[in-house]
Amino acid sequence: MSYRRNSLLIHGGIDGDETTGAVNVPVYQTSTYKQDGLGKNRGWEYSRTGNPTRAALEKLIADLEEGQYGLAFASGLAAINTVLSLFKAGDKLIVSDNIYGGTFRILDNVFKNFNITYKIVDTSDLEAVENAIDEDVKAIYIETPANPLLTITDIEAVSAIGKKHNKLVIVDNTFLTPYLQRPLTLGADIVIHSGTKYLGGHSDTISGFVVVNDKQLADRLYYLQNAIGGVLAPWDSFLIIRGIKTLSVRMDRHVANAQKVAEWLAESGYVSKVYYPGLKTDPGYEIQKKQADGAGAMISFVLDEKYDYRVFFEKLQLITLAESLGGVESLVCHPATMTHAAIPADIRKEVGIVDELIRLSVGIEDVDDLISDLKQAIGNSVKA
C-alpha cells in the first residue's frame, strides 16, 4: 500500500524492526559486522559503508522527497562537500546570490583551491541564469527560499534550463523540507538538506542529506560518501528518524506562526523591510505558492532606523540569539556577523545582507508570546 505524506513521515523508509517487532528502528551501535566466511557477509561490512539505522533513515528521506536514493551525512556541509566532489578541476557552478554562508565558504575557500569555481547569479532572474551558462558550467546550485533574504527561485524553470543545456540542477531544500517542497518532482537532479534544522527539529543534533533519482549519479555519490567518509552516526540517525515523525505537526505550527509574525511585522511600523515569501507583497509569493505547500517559517527584516539592532538582540527574552534555525524554539540571528560572516562585506552589501538585517526562525511557541517579545524588545531599543 502506498502512503500519503503524513503517514510516510511515520511509516516511510524501514518501519520498525523485523527481528524483534520493535516499533522503532534500533540503534545499531556497531562499527563492523561478523562475516560468515570469506566473501560471505549478511549485507553489512563496515559502518562507514553502511549501517542499518542510517540505511533506514536514508530510505525514509528518499521516500519523503519522492526520490529513489537517499544518503545521510554527519552534517549539511558534509553532504554539500560530497556533492561538490562530483566535479573536476575546470568545472564551474552557477550559485544563487544569497546562499548559506557555509556553502559560500566551502566553494570560495576549499573547492576554488582545486579549481572548481563558481559564478554568483540572481537565480530568481531566469534570463540571468540562462546568460550565465557556458561550457565550463556543470551545475546550477540554488536555495529557495534562499538564506537569508528568502528569495524565491522557480525550481521548475531552472530545471528546464538545466535540462536544455545538460547541466545538473542542485537544490538546497533545508528551509522548507520535503513536507512543503519536493524539488525532484519539479525536475531538479539533486536535493540537499541540512537535517540539523527542521528534519531533526529539536536543535539537538547535526546531520545532512542528499537525494537523487538517477542510478548513475546515486552510485557515484555512494562511492564518494564511502570514500570521503562524512557519514551520519547510528545514534544521530535515530534522532533524525524520531524528529521526522512529528515533522508535519511541527511544520504546520511553524508556518502558521510565521505567517502571523510576518503580517504583524509588516503592519507594525517598526520595520523598514520584511522578507517572507508568504506575504502577498513579496516578489516571490506567486512562484512560492506554485511550487511549495507553504512559505516556511524563516523571516528576515530590517528595523526602522529609529531602533538599534544591537540593543534589540539584548532585550529579547523569549527568543534566543543563536546560530541555526528550524528547531521548536524561536531563534534570532545577525547574518552579517554570524551565519553569513564568511561572505565578504562588499558581496554581502551588493545582495542586500545589510548590517541591520535580522533573521528570525519562528518556533512553535504561542505566537502571541513571540509577538509580545518582539514588540517589547524593539520598543526598548530606541536609539538615544
Ligand X SMILES: *Cc1c(COP(=O)(O)O)cnc(C)c1O
* 205 contacts ligand X (rule: CB under 6 A): no
Site for ligand X in 155-184 (CB under 6 A): 172, 174-175
Return the SS3 of 334.
coil
Q: Work out whether 197 is an interface residue with ligand X (CB under 6 A).
A: yes
Q: Which of 25, 77, 210, 295 binds ligand X (CB under 6 A)?
A: 77
Selected binder of ligand X within 28, 69, 100, 104 (CB under 6 A)? 100
Angle between helices 234-245 and 247-268 in degrees, nearest 10: 70
Known catalytic membership, residue 245: no
Instruction: List Cβ neighbours of 381 (8 Å cut-off, separation of 6 or more).
Output: 303, 307, 308, 309, 311, 312, 315
Question: Residue 282 interacts with ligand X (CB under 6 A)?
Answer: no
**197 has catalytic annotation:** yes
Measured CA to CA, the distance from residue 174 to residue 186 in angstroms comes to 16
The answer to whether 123 contacts ligand X (rule: CB under 6 A) is no
- In whole angstroms, the minimum distance from the beta carbon of 75 to ligand X comes to 3
- Is 143 or 282 the residue whose CB approaches ligand X more closely? 143
Q: Under 8 Å CB-to-CB from 130, ≥6 apart: which residues?
A: 161
Q: Which stretch binds ligand X (CB under 6 A): 55-63, 72-80, 108-116, 214-222?
A: 72-80
Distance between CA atoms of 170 and 182, rounded to whole angstroms?
A: 12
Residue 3 CB, nearest distance to ligand X (Å)?
A: 27
Q: Which residue is nearest to ligand X (CB)?
A: 76
Distance CA 26, CA 18 (A): 10
**Best CA proximity match to 95, nearest among 117, 118, 71:** 118
Min dist. Cβ of residue 373 to ligand X (A): 23
Q: Binder to ligand X among 50, 102, 187, 352 (CB under 6 A)?
A: 102
Q: Name the active-site residue from 167, 182, 197, 348.
A: 197
CA-CA distance, 40 to 36, in Å (whole number)? Answer: 5
In the complex with ligand X, which residue's Cβ is closer, 9 or 74? 74
96 binds ligand X (CB under 6 A): no
The residue among 283, 282, 334, 313 whose CA lies nearest residue 377 is 313
Spatial contact of 22 and 52, defined as CB atoms under 8 Å apart: no
When binding is defined by CB under 6 A, the residue of 61, 62, 206, 336 that contacts ligand X is 206
Q: Does residue 145 interact with ligand X by CB under 6 A?
A: no
Binding of ligand X at residue 151 (CB under 6 A)? no
Question: Considering 28, 33, 69, 100, which one is annotated as catalytic?
Answer: 100
CA-to-CA distance for 150 and 169, rounded, in angstroms? 19
Which range, of 70-78, 211-219, 257-265, 310-318, touches ligand X by CB under 6 A?
A: 70-78
Interface with ligand X includes 196 (CB under 6 A)? yes
Q: Which is nearer to ligand X, 206 or 279 (CB)?
A: 206
Please say if 100 is a catalytic residue.
yes
Q: Which three cell numbers stand for residue 87?
A: 566535479
* Cell representation of residue 362: 519562528
Smallest gap from residue 248 Cβ to ligand X (A): 20
Contact (CB, 8 A) for 9 and 247: yes
Spell out the residues 6+ positions from residue 216 whose beta carbon is closer than 8 angstroms to its own.
none
297 in contact with ligand X (CB under 6 A): no
Of residues 147, 177, 225, 248, which one binds ligand X by CB under 6 A?
147
With left for phi above 0 and alpha for psi between -120 and 50, is residue 23 left, alpha or beta?
Answer: alpha
Where in the sequence numbering do the catalytic residues fall? 48, 100, 172, 197
Binding site for ligand X (CB under 6 A): 75-77, 100, 102-103, 143, 147, 172, 174-175, 194, 196-197, 206, 208
